[in-house]
Structure 1
């Protein structure tokens, strides 16, 4: 990537495939963006670019590269595929560009110092923690191809609910169908895997809609 291509990319602004970081401070937080890209459609992480689209670059790019590569190795599991390049600026500073590939091995997790694991997904220009349902969908999507389900009373109630409103949550479905939450969760996950529903992750609550044909 040359400087002109970098400027064109930055002009687009942050989004579901692009994230800016001015410095490599708090690498344990930056890896959340990398995990979110791997768990979603892939993306690019630019180090040395501000949220306001200013391209300031890094004075000691070697150090930043070392810190971030080590952080990816230490905090991300399973291993994430990516490639990195540097873009030279006129003032001898550099921008690090991490290209994170869409992963067949998701869900990927960030491991903190206490050993806790958290998965993240990309929602617009934010990386949000993945719900239990999103983690299950990612896990099973890599294993199951021809997913079938039985259309019963609870599925009928779900379709009636979706006829009245555009989306449902696990809790609203459980309440309407009069079933335990874990059963509602399993049903929605199965219907997403069967391509009957689409899931729309959010940092507050996931929503499920009818899949677009």
Structure 2
């Protein structure tokens, strides 16, 4: 990427595949963006670019690169593949361009409890990185296995499709109540239908929504 291409990219603003950071301060938070890109459709992280789309670059690029490299190694599991390019924008100031492809080892986690090796997965939603729900994590695991998913169209599935015929979306709790089934069964059924490409999952910070695959929802 050259400077002209960088400016053109920055003009688009942050989005599902693009994140700006002025510096690599709070690297434990920045790795959430990297994990979210890897768990979603990939993306580009620019260090040295402001939220206002200014491009001041960073003065000590070596230090910024080292800090983020160590944070990625420390906090991300499984290890995440990425490419790094350093681009001079003005004298002695550079932008670090991290390109993160969609991973084939989803889900990736940001470790927050090293003693017990516990972490949180994140996915990209518009210009934000949100924590992945249990259902979203199961979908990511299932997509990684790439198996043909079979399911039985029974009473609960019929009630689900009836609900979606009059409501664009449904949550796990709404499905559980509408079909009069335990929440774990509702959760598993929705995940299976997403993996079978019957439904689509719409991750959200508060709760996920499910809709018929191929339909738009605002």
TM-score (norm 2): 0.96
CA deviations on 1:131-154 (whole Å, 9 max, x unpaired) are: 000000101111142111000000
Report the aligned-residue RMSD: 1.0
Give runs of ≥4 in structure 1 deviating > 3 Å.
none
Aligned-residue offset at 1:113:
4.9
> Which secondary structure state, in structure 2, belongs to the residue aligned with residue 19 of structure 1?
strand
Which stretch of structure 1 is more off in the superposition, 187-196 or 110-119?
110-119
CA distance in 1, matches of 2:108, 2:172: 23
Question: What whole-Å deviation, never above 9, does each CA across 1:85-116 have from its counterpart, x for those lacking one?
Answer: 01101222000000001101000000025443
How much has 1:17 moved relative to structure 2?
A: 0.2
Aligned to 1:148: 150
Q: Which residue of 1 aligns with 2:65?
A: 65
Deviations along 1:56-103, one digit per CA (max 9) or x if unpaired, are 110000000001011101100001110000110122200000000110
Match of 2:123 among 97, 121, 134: 121
Distance 2:146 2:68 in 1: 34
- Describe the superposition over 1:152-188 as per-residue Cα deviations: whole angstroms up to 9, x where unpaired: 0000000000011000000000011000100000000
Question: 1: distance between equivalents of 2:191 and 2:101?
Answer: 24
Corresponding residue for residue 163 of structure 1: 165
Segments of structure 2 that go 5 or more residues without pairing to the other structure are none
For 2:102 and 2:5, how far apart are their aligned partners in 1? 22
SS in 2 for 1:190: helix
Whether the aligned pair in 1 keeps the contact of 2:113 and 2:119 (CA below 8 Å) is no
Aligned residues: 213
C-alpha distance in structure 2 between counterparts of 1:212 and 1:139, whole Å: 21
For each residue in 1:26-72, what CA deviation from the matched residue of structure 2 results, as whole angstroms up to 9, or x when unmatched?
10000000000000000000000011101111000000000101110
Q: Cα gap change, 1:174/1:104 in structure 2, threshold over 3 Å: closer, same or farther?
A: same
Normalized against structure 1, the TM-score is what? 0.98
Unaligned runs of 5+ in 1: none
Q: Using the alignment, how far apart are the partners of 2:144 and 2:10 within structure 1?
A: 33
CA distance in 2 between counterparts of 1:16 and 1:90 reads 28
Bigger Cα displacement from structure 2, 105-114 vs 200-209: 105-114
